[in-house]
Structure 1
């Protein structure tokens, strides 16, 4: 049936046919866990991305900025360690963005890989279900 539909058997089709012939349940089969093959850099990128796009990060970031500016504007320290134009603060903020953006992108790329594997598994399950329905339809027709 698959050869008639596609003209040839793809690797995905062959995998599903093997599973169909074996009579195993495809939905319980999982891809090898992607998290098992993570390097230290991947794990750190995931952690930083998870923290970097959360409310606690935003609140801590705003709190540090407010404390920095408040300490220097109100004159709690005489003389203020960083007077008004806040050039050092601007430099630090300029350094955070180029470091944080690639780390978040790495985490998003890994998430995209997980989603792709999940999608391939869903495609296998749907193809197997379609083939089983076709077999049942043929049996009923005969």
Structure 2
């Protein structure tokens, strides 16, 4: 009986050691993932990139469209209804066309630069999402390993219990056979 208790305690200790080993391995595997998530590399932005972001933010907004529309309408109205000596851009509005073309020519590459930076931010964000998914997968694997250990130990315990029950049944059978043998004599 004493050896069975000692064996049970030893088995329980081995079981806990297996679980600790699984947890320790999982912590070591997750260390890199957690480090990358907690301390992402710092983004270094040049002054030109800051300007392109601000131009793209303003140039792609309703505020810009409305303000630009108001300026164009005011330009046209002034040059149509102002006295002849105050007009600076007569009817075909050649100066206005030049200004619009220049704005479009400058604004397009600036917006493209900003989009490229946004694409880089999206790439970094998707890498972080991947790392988070990887961390979750590692945790799920760890849980599966723990469950496998628990199931393995449960099956082992069931087999041992069943073996003891068979021993007990055999002992009861022997005792019954002895009793029947005495009654027959």
State TM-score, norm by structure 2: 0.60
Indicate the RMSD between aligned Cα atoms, in angstroms.
2.3
2:38 to 26, 29, 36: 29
Q: Using a 3 Å threshold, how does the CA distance of structure 1 residues 100 and 33 change in structure 2: closer, same or farther? A: same
Q: Which runs of 5+ in 2 are unaligned?
A: 1-25, 150-185
- Give the Cα–Cα distance (whole angstroms) in 2 for the partners of residues 140 and 116 of structure 1: 36
Offset of 1:77 from its aligned partner? Answer: 3.0
Q: Give 1 or 2: higher helix fraction.
A: 2
SS in 1 for 2:88: coil
Q: If the length of structure 1 is used for normalisation, what is the TM-score?
A: 0.77
Shift in alpha-carbon separation, 1:109–1:25, aligned structure 2, 3 A: same
Greater C-alpha radius of gyration:
2
In structure 2, the CA distance between the partners of 1:44 and 1:117, relative to structure 1 (3 Å rule), is: same
For residue 18 of structure 1, report the CA deviation from its aligned partner.
Answer: 5.2
Unaligned runs of 5+ in 1: 1-15
The Cα of 1:24 is off from its aligned counterpart by 7.8
The answer as to whether partners of 2:55 and 2:111 remain within 8 angstroms in 1 is yes
Q: Residue by residue, what CA displacement relative to the aligned partner does 1:73-117 show, whole Å, maximum 9, x if unpaired?
A: 12x233322211111111111111110000001111111111110
Does the residue aligned with 2:132 lie in a helix, a strand or coil?
helix
Equivalent in the alignment of 1:59 = 66
Stretches of 4+ moved more than 6 A in 1?
Answer: none
Between the two proteins, the alignment pairs up a number of residues equal to 123
Among 117, 135, 139, the residue aligned to 2:142: 135
